[in-house]
Amino acid sequence: MLAILHPDTDENSEEYRRTWDYLSQLPGIELNVNTIQGQQQKLTEIYLLGDTLAVDLDQVAALPAVERAIRISEEYRVLGRHADQKRQTGFSYNGIDFSQDTLNVLPGLCAVDNPENVEIMMRAVHDAGHNLTRMGAYKPRTNPYSFQGYGSECLPYVFELAGKYDIKVIAMEVMHESHIEEIDTALENLGRPTGVLLQVGTRNSQNFSLLKEIGRQSTYPVLVKRGFGITLNDSLNAAEYLASEGNSNVIFCLRGMRTDFGAPHRNMVDFGHVPIVKRLTRMPVCIDPSHSVGSRAYAPDGITDIAHVTAQGIVAGANVVLADFHPNPEEALVDGAQALRIDELNPFLADINLAWQTYQKRCEIWEHAP
């Protein structure tokens, strides 16, 4: 069971004390407090764990600090919706709101290669009026002899340039807890010129010790990619691992499923699952059209395949887009075949904007349906 407190409830208030006293004397029930800091207000949730069948829902809902109480299933205990459409979604980080009602685009380099390309990329993002990007420093490669990323070596110039171009959040994959420390140290040394969204790649979506380690820190939010060869339920549980350790600032990213039937796309595009993830959980949903499609090919209508699937995901309500760009894709050290060129950034963003407007109009059309 979950007791959602009135927004901004003070833990020292009489209402909170009386609520806590009642809940803590319930036999066989353990309490777990989760706070979510939004841009406007702080939300506190108290989870009642154990055998809650004997607990009276109405009595919990009537406690002075409680706004409402809901019964939750075992599945996605923290991040799930539990049939409650009113529960808050998302979080805000470094001045940026991420929720199931917002749209954020992170165009950037799959892998950092040199300061010149990082600067061209960040300047383009800034000039387009955006302030989010992706920059891979630690690369999970299938082949052990492939380029593994410049790691901590490139972090100082990446973060410095982010500060120069007013980039607020950089999505960056980590594969080991030491990578978080390296990122944290580099940011701290530079006076935190930007923020980092830690990315868990598809290959690590069942690396439970990594998920737990990332979940134990609350400095950085996390973007978890769907595992390419496991069920949706298993992937959503990867996200829940983070939340179970305390970090519920989590974005879930669809990136296509590996299947031989996926061809000619690199992976079978799964963006039709956007509304399903939004219904099952309160996470903002990201789409990664680059790793789904795997090529920068143009369709006969003059639109890239990547832009086509992006529009499909946005029209279905996606909240975040992670996309590979490169100033010179032929020279990219990783995934050059799927990187869009810098001069494709503006049409890509305009197309996304149109799709987002369409999605909002679709919501209006359906607003009064039975």
- Interacting residues with ligand PEP (CB under 6 A): 110, 136, 140, 173, 201-203, 225, 255, 288, 291
Decide whether 9 or 290 has the Cβ nearer to ligand PEP. 290
Q: How far is CA 211 from CA 167, 244, 317, in A?
A: 26, 10, 26
Task: State how far the Cα of 327 lies from the Cα of 367, in Å rounded to an integer.
Answer: 43
Decide whether 153 or 166 has the Cβ nearer to ligand PEP. 153
Kindly write down the DSSP assignment for every residue of 265-330, as one continuous string.
SSSB--GGGHHHHHHHB-S-EEE-HHHHH---PBPTTS-BHHHHHHHHHHHTT--EEEEEEESSGG
The dihedrals phi and psi of 116, each to the nearest 5 degrees, come to: -60, -50
Q: What share of the chain is helix, strand, coil (3-state, %, to 5)?
A: 40, 20, 40
By a kind-dependent CB cut-off of 5 to 8 A, residue 89 interacts, out of ligand PEP, Mn ion, none, with: none
Helix/strand/coil for 346: helix
Decide whether 44 or 290 has the Cβ nearer to ligand PEP. 290
State in angstroms the smallest separation of the CB of 183 from ligand PEP. Answer: 16
By a kind-dependent CB cut-off of 5 to 8 A, residue 149 interacts, out of ligand PEP, Mn ion, none, with: none
Task: State how far the Cα of 286 lies from the Cα of 335, in Å rounded to an integer.
Answer: 19
Burial class of 364 by CB neighbour count within 10 A (0 to 12, 13 to 18, 19+): exposed
State in angstroms the smallest separation of the CB of 136 from Mn ion. Answer: 7
The reply on whether position 351 binds Mn ion by CB under 5 A is no
Q: Which stretch binds Mn ion (CB under 5 A): 73-81, 157-165, 251-259, 330-338?
A: 330-338
By a kind-dependent CB cut-off of 5 to 8 A, residue 201 interacts, out of Mn ion, ligand PEP, none, with: ligand PEP
State in angstroms the smallest separation of the CB of 209 from ligand PEP. Answer: 18
Using only C-alpha atoms, what is the Rg of the chain? Answer: 21
State in angstroms the smallest separation of the CB of 173 from ligand PEP. Answer: 6
State in angstroms the smallest separation of the CB of 238 from ligand PEP. Answer: 12
The reply on whether position 110 binds Mn ion by CB under 5 A is yes
Q: Which stretch binds Mn ion (CB under 5 A): 171-179, 255-263, 278-286, 328-336?
A: 328-336
Question: Which residues contribute to the site for Mn ion (CB under 5 A)?
Answer: 110, 335
